[in-house]
Homo-oligomer: A and B are copies of this chain.
Amino acid sequence: MSDQPTASAPVTPSGQPAFILVRPQMGENIGAAARAMWNFGLDRMRVVAPRDGWPNERAVALASGAGRLLDEAQLFDDLPGALADRTYVFATTARDRGLTKPIVTPERAMAQAREIIAQGGKVGVLFGPERAGLENADIAPADAIISVDVNPAFPSLNLAQCVLLCGYEWQRQASSVPPEVMALAKTDFASGLEVEKLGAHYEERLEEAGFFWPPEKAESMKLTLRNLWGRLSLTRADVQTLHGVMRQMVRWAEGRRKDL
C-alpha cells in the first residue's frame, strides 16, 4: 500500500478496491462481510439498496471490531451510482450466466486489481444478495466475472465467504507482484459513469430509431447492449469516438430532413 493515511482523508482512499454489496439482505451478513474485509486490511465498503435500510443495527452488532467499515461505508440507491467513479469492475458469481465476459479466479482478479490500481485506476468488486446472487443486469456493467473454483457438487459459498476469499487473495499478493504486466495497464480506462452514459446515449437514440423491436424483446436487447459496452474495457477515447459515431448518425438523419 503506497498511500499514506492523512488527517483529512480516509485511510488508503484509492489504494484498494471497493467491495460493493449489492442489495444485501441480512444485516448479519453485512457485518460478517465487513469483518472478512478488515481481516485483510480492506476498508472501502459500498452498499447498494440494502433490503433493511441503513444504518443496520444487526450489521453493526455482527461487525464487532470492524464496525468502522460500516460507519464509513458509502450508501447508494442504485448500482450505476456505486460504479460511477470506478474504471474497472469485477462481478462475483457462482453460476455460469452465459454472458460473454472473461471469467477469472479470485487470484487473477486481485492481481489485476493491484495492477490497475497501481496505474491510477479505480476497481470495484460486486457481491450479490445472499439468496439469489447478482442479476444479469447487475453483471452487465462489469468488465470481468470472478468465479471461485468450488466443488461442482457443492457450490455453497455464502456472501461473507466470498468476500473473505477475495480479501485473502488481495492480501496474499501484497508481497509478490505478478511478473506479467498487462499490456493495457497504463490505459486510461473510462469510468463506470462514462460507460453508463454511453450506454444511455445509444439506448435513447436507438429507442427513437425503433431498434428495440418487438416490444417483448426490448428489455433483453437493451441488456445485451449494456452488457456489450460493459465488457469492452473501453478507454476514455473509445467512449468519445462511440459518442461521436452516434451523434453523427443523428445529425445526418436530421440534416437529410433539412436538405429536402
Chain A residues with CB under 8 Å of chain B are 35-36, 38-41, 64-66, 96, 100, 102-105, 107-108, 147-151, 154-157, 161, 164-165, 168, 171-172, 174-175, 177, 179-184, 187, 202, 205-206, 208-211, 224-225, 228, 232-235, 237-238, 241-242, 244-246, 248-257, 260
CA of A257 to CA of B65 in the docked complex: distance in angstroms? 66
Residue of B nearest to A189 (CB): B100
Among candidates B66, B238, B253, residue contacting A256 with C-beta atoms closer than 8 Å: B253
Q: Are B238 and A249 in contact (CB under 8 A)?
A: no
Shortest C-beta distance, A142 to chain B (Å), equals 14
Known: A238-B228, A253-B252. A161 touches B36 (CB 8 A): yes
> Which residues of the other chain, B, contact A211 by a CB distance below 8 angstroms?
244-245, 248
Known: A64-B156, A104-B179, A150-B40. A249 touches B164 (CB 8 A): no
Residue of B nearest to A66 (CB): B154
Q: Are A179 and B39 in contact (CB under 8 A)?
A: no
Q: Are A172 and B105 in contact (CB under 8 A)?
A: yes
Residue of B nearest to A224 (CB): B241
Q: Are A184 and B102 in contact (CB under 8 A)?
A: yes
> Which residues of the other chain, B, contact A246 by a CB distance below 8 angstroms?
249
> Which residues of the other chain, B, contact A64 by a CB distance below 8 angstroms?
156
Among candidates B38, B168, B180, B257, residue contacting A260 with C-beta atoms closer than 8 Å: B257
> Which residues of the other chain, B, contact A172 by a CB distance below 8 angstroms?
105, 107, 149
Q: Are B151 and A38 in contact (CB under 8 A)?
A: yes
Q: Are A209 and B248 in contact (CB under 8 A)?
A: yes
Shortest C-beta distance, A124 to chain B (Å), equals 20
> Which residues of the other chain, B, contact A96 by a CB distance below 8 angstroms?
183
Q: Are B168 and A210 in contact (CB under 8 A)?
A: no
Q: Are B182 and A252 in contact (CB under 8 A)?
A: no
CA of A251 to CA of B256 in the docked complex: distance in angstroms? 12
> Which residues of the other chain, B, contact A182 by a CB distance below 8 angstroms?
103-105, 147, 149
CA of A193 to CA of B150 in the docked complex: distance in angstroms? 34
Among candidates B66, B174, B252, residue contacting A208 with C-beta atoms closer than 8 Å: B252
Residue of B nearest to A147 (CB): B182
Q: Are A175 and B149 in contact (CB under 8 A)?
A: yes
Among candidates B38, B161, B252, residue contacting A164 with C-beta atoms closer than 8 Å: B161
Q: Are B150 and A39 in contact (CB under 8 A)?
A: yes
Q: Are B241 and A40 in contact (CB under 8 A)?
A: no
Known: A66-B154, A108-B179, A235-B100. A149 touches B164 (CB 8 A): no
